[in-house]
Amino acid sequence: MTNIQTIAIAGAGTMGSGIAQVTALSGFKTILFDIDPKMLEKAKLGHKSTFDTLVTKGKITAEISQKSLALMSYTSNINELIADLIIEAVVERLDVKHQFFQSVAAINKPSTILATNTSSIPVTQIAAKIPNPERVLGIHFFNPAPIMKLVEIIQGVQTKDEIAQKCKSLIESMGKICVVAKDAPGFIVNRVARHYYVEGLKVLEENVADFETIDALMESSGFKMGPFRLMDLIGVDTNFSVTTSIYGLFHLDGKFRPSRIQQQKVDAGYHGRKSGRGFYEY
């Protein structure tokens, strides 16, 4: 298996652009793909602004900033996604992920590693319709990817051990802490953390307290962010999508039931910080 030199990331949203920042700063040639050119332009401007801020704060040198930006390219042409490792961070829908991976598998070598940043869908389900499923695995970053140290490495039923270990070593070389998780809906973190959001929403639904009070209580008890402030950071729409996915994958187990309040926020376009309004206004 050849060394990984070029990494492609699909999806220029908060997560995908954050992963691209991590890989470029780690010295890898990075290709960021999105079907929406506006998202790519936003990501490009965001990277330049972030690197400028890091230089100003003394976190990195101007030379490192320039080298990292030079390693990054942006494209809405899927045929330009030729890489040693491809990480998808697209919408949390199995059909979309299948279509994407089938497209890039057709234009890349059989040795190209295909990784999903899915928060909830089992890797084995994703790999099922992809050629050479033994090279498919989960590399699950957490938001915001440049700051959060933890990354879950998920090995599907058909994933080769050497692929999983190679990716684990690669991500650890980027300064991350990797945890190997079994392939199950939500893996470790999102399965456990789901109740932080779901129960907070239930308390709100039942009018036990308003969301500001719930956040204040959780933060005063040691959590860095309350559930509602955290949902706004992650994206109310993203959080709702993951909850809905896990709810279905666990055969409608009531403990994962999505909230109608969160559904209303999504329907109204109140997606959190990225839209200027979620549970809070920004």
Instruction: Give 267's contacts (C-beta < 8 A, 6+ positions apart).
Output: none
Instruction: Give 183's contacts (C-beta < 8 A, 6+ positions apart).
Output: 122, 123, 124, 138, 154, 155, 156, 157
20 in Cβ contact with 30 (< 8 Å): yes
SS3 140: strand
Q: In this structure, what token pair is assigned to residue 137?
A: 């695995």
The dihedral built from the CA positions of residue 14, 42, 116 and 174, taken in this order, carries a sign that is negative
C-alpha span between 51 and 59 (Å, rounded): 9
Q: Which amino acid is at 51?
A: F
179 in Cβ contact with 193 (< 8 Å): no
CA angle 172, 177, 83 (to 5 degrees): 40
The torsion angles phi and psi of 85, rounded to 5 degrees, stand at -140, 130
Match 């039931």 to its residue by tokens: 257
Pairing verdict, β 150-155 and 136-141: antiparallel
SS3 275: helix
Chain centre to alpha carbon of residue 19: 8
Q: In this structure, what token pair is assigned to residue 2?
A: 């050849």
Active site positions, annotated: 140
